[in-house]
Amino acid sequence: MSGSGLVLVGARGTGKSTVGRLVADRLGHRFIDVDDEIEAAVGLSIPEIFSTLGESAFRDAEEDAIRALTELDESIVLATGGGAVVRPSNRERLKRFGLAVWLKAEPMVLGERLLFDASSGKLRPSLTGLGAIAEIEAVLEARREYYQDVAGLVVDTTGIKPVEVADAVLRAFEGAERWIAP
Ligand code: S3P
């Protein structure tokens, strides 16, 4: 729903899906994870899309999903994949959609969370071929300006529980809603 949506952006492992679910529950809005929509649309898991179709096919599917989801006539909370901000058209759509919250964390913390996710079955394809921490740092360096471009709020999640991050996001979103529709 244009202008009044809430979308979480940020690197892998920042807790976008966990926080997005908490925030959506508290608002009574539907939560949608863009990566889940891509997997359903393509009929393959994210690692399979990368390995069989390649990253650029994944980015096309991601752009299609973001276009469709940001045009829904319904209040939703969106969690995007870490690379959703790379294409300018996605950034424009996400900005028009509503409040974009950039979740950040220290690279070491992200590395630990990604290891934990991998051990519980959530696998992520390598984006650079570098080791874990070097990849996190390189990708963040390349994308920082894009996150800055879309974000209306930045929350550093280092050492903060998801429920506390959700509280900060809700406070900002409720303030923004009043500003848009007093
Ligand atoms: C990606 C992040 C992933 C997923 C894909 C690519 C990226 O999402 O979209 O593996 O380019 O950073 P998460 O941030 O939810 O892990």
Q: Calculate mean pLDDT across residues 125-136.
A: 92
Closest residue by Cα to atom 16, ligand 1, is 12
- Distance, CA 81 to ligand 1 centroid (Å)? 4
Asked whether the predicted pLDDT for residue 3 surpasses 80, the reply is no
- Distance, CA 30 to ligand 1 centroid (Å)? 21
In the chain, at which residue ranges do the beta strands (DSSP E only) sit? 5-10, 30-33, 76-79, 98-104, 153-156
Cβ neighbours, 10 Å, residue 70: 22
% of the chain residues with pLDDT over 90: 85
Distance CA 49, CA 58 (A): 6
Any residues with Cβ below 6 Å from ligand 1, and which? Answer: 12, 16, 35, 46, 81-83, 124-125, 127
What separation, in Å, do the N-terminal and C-terminal C-alpha atoms of the chain show?
Answer: 17
